[in-house]
Amino acid sequence: MSIEIRHLRAFVAVAEELNFRRAAERLHLAQPALSRTIRDMESLMGVTVFERSTRSVRLTPAGASFLAEAREMLEQLTAAIRNAQRFEHGELGSLTVGFNDFAINDALPPIVMRFRTRYPDISVNLQSMSSPEMADAIRKRRLDMGFLTGAHLVGDLSHIVLRRERLVCLLPKGHRLAAQNEIALASLASEPFVIGSAAGWRSFLDVVDAYCMQAGFLPRVAQEASHSDSIVNLVAAGMGVSIYIDADWVKERRDVVMRPLAEKPPIVVSVAAWHPQLKSRALENFVNVTREVVSGSAAAPRKTPVASRRRVPAK
């Protein structure tokens, strides 16, 4: 049996018009061609769907039972075509987007909000990951886009620079160094540090380690934390000092003091990256929204040495 779409369309048109001439006009067909199409369909099905006379056309019981399902099949086809068109235009589908703590506290929320407002039928699945994990997942095409830290991780990937930020020192309110306008790096050598956990913050910690090594020490780790707000809260609680990025949201805190560092600190580069060969209109639309929300141009890749870390008890 080879019932085709043209058979269904012809059948539904005649069933709704109950007139071959009007149905032919509706389908922009010659009436003899329409009659042949109906006869072909009846022959293929082995069922008579219309009772014809010189003055009237009526559905047979078999034709009436077939009409509802024929309409449903045509509606499903129309919906399938429309969905395919929407996928093609990036209006339907899903994206998997990785992020780190810097992104979720800065660029990512307004980007996702604008994208979901503009493309409500695209599902955005967010995954918290370390920057190296994101870079690897993008290369293996397991991730559509990643918001990560470290331009040296994405040299071969398409990317947008989100922010370039200097390192600063975070101190508890009332700390002995808080009265200084800037903090000499060497003055932190004996201080307990609150830092991000090695599992999720490796790229950032490599930058901090390399910077501190210039002053002849590695941070004395008193406490690790998985998230930025935890780091800041632990500093506020007096668990130690930290070296963090010059983030606006931290400046609003009244229980933490942010001070610039005397020695020129490295620039921490946050980027949004994706695979250059991953072709998706939905991804293209997400990239365009990211460009709208975030200004900046791509920076040159950079590398930082990896240093070992020693852990000491908190004082």
What digits encode the pLDDT tens for the residues 102-137?
Answer: 888 888 999 999 999 999 999 999 999 999 999 999
Interval 240-252: pLDDT, tens = 999 999 988 899 8
Interval 128-173: pLDDT, tens = 999 999 999 999 999 999 999 988 899 899 999 998 989 999 999 9
Of 23-27, 192-196, 304-308, the one with minimum mean pLDDT is 304-308
Q: Which of 309, 169, 148, 190 is nearest to 232 (CA)?
A: 169
Interval 283-311: pLDDT, tens = 999 999 999 998 643 333 333 333 334 44
pLDDT value of residue 202: 87
Which amino acid makes up residue 278? L
Which amino acid makes up residue 56? S
Task: Map tokens 């609680």 to a residue.
Answer: 237
- What span, in angstroms and rounded, lies between the C-alpha atoms of 94 and 282? 8
Mapped onto helix, strand or coil, the DSSP state of residue 29 is coil
Res. 55 pLDDT band, cuts 50 70 90? confident
Q: What radius of gyration do the chain's Cα atoms show?
A: 32
Q: What is the mean pLDDT of the chain?
A: 89
- What span, in angstroms and rounded, lies between the C-alpha atoms of 75 and 27? 17
pLDDT value of residue 295: 64
312 to 177, 187, 191, 210: CA distances (angstroms) = 21, 17, 11, 19
Task: Map tokens 């707000």 to a residue.
Answer: 229
